[in-house]
């Protein structure tokens, strides 16, 4: 018996060693969707030391850190236009970051946060700064020496590169630098990263860039920014690719950047339903009370961070009203109803007649045999149970987000 046990342990050790040998990423990271702040949506390349330090301070003082927003990510624009002549290393822009990146990392870490940085798989970043192509291992070592915890890796100036190969190379480079970093694949969905991204990455962008727009898109002639609704449309069917340690990324949040309060609530609700990474993208130093209440609604964040790690599926889409469901731990569920149109819509949802079935995760909502209480996560109150039909009016662009529990 004893012998049998020892053999079992030895086998597990060998198996563990073998999987580590073949590991293509830091497996234990991003077990729930990563949360944090990224400089791009609000500031684009106009970033500097003072802004980043103030942002780090306010993440803590506002309560964002304690709500889970841990990763502070510097997007494009942190670098000098050329690599170091002698070493070939990337250099921080000396005007914007006079004390260099390690000093920024130390400051961010001193606040109990984690530090993220940006580059591109191509020869240049989207802003024309030095890209990583040909420098993958060198850049990974440099980031490790700066104590970087998260790398967002974009896809500009990648010309004829093969996406899967390029991201595999960078993933291996990060592993060999031996500092655990979340690897955020920002390939924009062109080469279907949801099919291969989980091998080397922890999240992958599924679309082009988001903009401050509710529906349709913002046309910049040579490129388009997508709206909240277009983003949501493009997530349908991708739920099977998401799970612990590997998430679909419908881009960073625009909450607090100019949408109405109900649009912001809808946007945030749906990102949480989708188990999307929650990277805030607003000016945290100037957040309104409404923005704070949205970004830090802990019950809504709990839907995103649910330990099962399931992405919601679209249950129905009729007459501009969509209904989405997401199974949660302990046999609870989240339900999201939203109104895409510009007129008020009446919702009449008879729980006893509907057949909510998540075939992917083999979970169904047993409203015939069990009674679920309905808790409105924005109004923070009970609104009935599943014995009775739900009957509510939804204002234009508004959302109803419910947690169902027995």
Choose the catalytic residue: 76, 93, 154, 304.
Answer: 154
Does the footprint of ligand GLA cover residue 40 (CB under 6 A)?
Answer: yes
Interaction mask 213-252, ligand GLA, x per CB under 6 A? ----------------------------------------
Does the footprint of ligand GLA cover residue 151 (CB under 6 A)?
Answer: no
Smallest separation, CB 9 to ligand GLA (Å): 46
Does the footprint of ligand GLA cover residue 126 (CB under 6 A)?
Answer: yes
Select from 49, 76, 136, 306 the one that contacts ligand GLA (CB under 6 A): 76
Position with the least CB separation from ligand GLA: 126
Smallest separation, CB 388 to ligand GLA (Å): 44
The answer to whether residue 149 is catalytic is no
Stretch that binds ligand GLA, among 119-127, 239-247, 275-283, 328-336 (CB under 6 A): 119-127
Does the footprint of ligand GLA cover residue 56 (CB under 6 A)?
Answer: no
Choose the catalytic residue: 209, 251, 264, 358.
Answer: 209
Nearer residue to ligand GLA within complex by CB, 125 or 166: 125
Smallest separation, CB 125 to ligand GLA (Å): 6
Smallest separation, CB 224 to ligand GLA (Å): 11
Select from 49, 75, 93, 139 the one that contacts ligand GLA (CB under 6 A): 75
Tell me the number of residues near ligand GLA by CB under 6 A.
10
The answer to whether residue 154 is catalytic is yes
Does the footprint of ligand GLA cover residue 127 (CB under 6 A)?
Answer: yes
The token pair at 251 is 């881009």
Task: Enumerate binding residues for ligand GLA (CB under 6 A).
Answer: 40, 75-76, 125-127, 154, 186, 188, 209
Q: Which residues are catalytically annotated? A: 154, 209
């Amino acid at each position: 018996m004893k012998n049998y046990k020892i053999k079992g342990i030895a086998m597990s050790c060998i198996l563990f060693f073998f999987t580590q040998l073949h590991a293509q990423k830091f497996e234990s990271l991003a077990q729930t969707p990563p949360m944090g702040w990224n400089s791009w949506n609000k500031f684009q390349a106009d970033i500097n030391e003072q802004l980043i330090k103030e942002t780090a301070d306010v993440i803590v003082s506002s309560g964002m850190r304690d709500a889970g927003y841990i990763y502070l990510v510097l997007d494009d624009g942190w670098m000098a236009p050329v690599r170091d002549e002698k070493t070939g290393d990337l250099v921080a822009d000396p005007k914007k970051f006079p004390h260099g990146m390690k000093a920024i990392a130390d400051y961010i870490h001193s606040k109990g946060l984690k530090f993220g940085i940006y580059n591109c798989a191509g020869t240049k970043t989207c802003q024309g700064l030095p890209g990583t192509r040909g420098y993958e291992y060198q850049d990974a070592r440099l980031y490790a020496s700066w104590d970087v915890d998260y790398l967002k890796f974009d896809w500009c100036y990648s010309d004829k590169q093969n996406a899967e190969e390029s991201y595999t190379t960078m993933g291996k480079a990060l592993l060999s630098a031996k500092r655990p970093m979340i690897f955020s694949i920002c390939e924009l969905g062109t080469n279907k990263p949801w099919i291969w991204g989980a091998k080397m990455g922890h999240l992958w962008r599924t679309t082009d860039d988001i903009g401050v727009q509710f529906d349709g898109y913002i046309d910049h002639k040579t490129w388009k920014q997508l709206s909240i609704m277009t983003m949501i449309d493009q997530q349908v069917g991708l739920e099977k690719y998401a799970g612990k340690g590997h998430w679909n990324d419908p881009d960073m949040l625009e909450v607090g950047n100019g949408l109405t309060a109900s649009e912001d609530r809808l946007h945030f609700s749906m990102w949480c339903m989708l188990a999307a990474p929650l990277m805030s993208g607003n000016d945290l130093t100037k957040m309104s009370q409404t923005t704070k209440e949205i970004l830090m609604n802990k019950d809504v964040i709990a839907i995103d961070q649910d330990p099962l790690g399931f992405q919601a599926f679209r249950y129905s889409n009729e007459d501009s009203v969509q209904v989405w469901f997401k199974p949660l731990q302990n046999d609870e569920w989240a339900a999201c109803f939203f109104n895409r149109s510009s007129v008020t819509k009446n919702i009449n949802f008879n729980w006893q007649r509907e057949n909510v079935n998540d075939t992917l995760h083999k979970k169904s909502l047993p409203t015939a045999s069990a009674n679920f209480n309905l808790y409105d996560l924005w109004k923070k109150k009970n609104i009935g149970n599943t014995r009775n039909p739900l009957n509510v009016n939804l204002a234009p662009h508004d959302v109803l987000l419910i947690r169902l529990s027995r």
